[in-house]
């Protein structure tokens, strides 16, 4: 179980960390996504910081289990919010969202299974 926990946690941290980087460097994709969801562009760096915090929290959870659990839970809630933003504007293009959400759920599941079961 330890190998699965570490593998999923590191993969999720890398995925969310790279997404955070795209948001924070001012790439056009997150800006276009914010426009499509009718969110202010000023939220893009904030959303990037949330992803970065989740990524770092997952890694920190390797040493402090509660930190990893809270980070994974926060990422699941983040992507539930993203789903609501998509649905609010009628967007049905959810393939990317599904991959990110599944990764966040997997990170939470292995964290709970390894530390709290």
Q: Could you read off the pLDDT of 47-57 as tens digits, one per residue? A: 999 999 999 99
Tell me if 81 sits within 8 A of 54, measured CB to CB.
Answer: no
Q: What is the pLDDT of residue 117?
A: 79
For 25, the token pair is 């460097």
**Spatial separation of the C-alpha atoms in residues 34 and 3, rounded to whole Å:** 37
H or E segment at 64? none
Q: What is the pLDDT of residue 116?
A: 85
51: nearest Cα among 80, 25, 21: 21
Question: Domain tally for the chain?
Answer: 1
Query: 90 lies in which domain range?
Result: 2-116
**Spatial separation of the C-alpha atoms in residues 91 and 32, rounded to whole Å:** 13
- What are 10-28's pLDDT values in tens digits? 999 999 999 999 999 999 9
For 95, the token pair is 């393939």
């Amino acid at each position: 179980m330890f190998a699965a926990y570490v593998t999923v946690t590191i993969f999720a941290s890398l995925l969310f960390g790279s997404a955070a980087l795209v948001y924070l460097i001012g790439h056009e994709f997150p800006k276009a996504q914010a426009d499509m969801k009718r969110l202010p562009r000023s939220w893009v760096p904030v959303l990037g910081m949330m992803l970065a915090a989740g990524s770092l929290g997952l890694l920190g959870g390797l040493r402090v289990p509660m930190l990893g659990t809270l980070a994974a839970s926060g990422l699941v809630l983040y992507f539930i919010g993203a789903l609501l933003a998509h649905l609010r504007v009628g967007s049905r293009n959810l393939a990317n969202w599904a991959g990110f959400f599944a990764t966040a759920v997997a990170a939470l599941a292995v964290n709970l299974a390894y530390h709290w079961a």
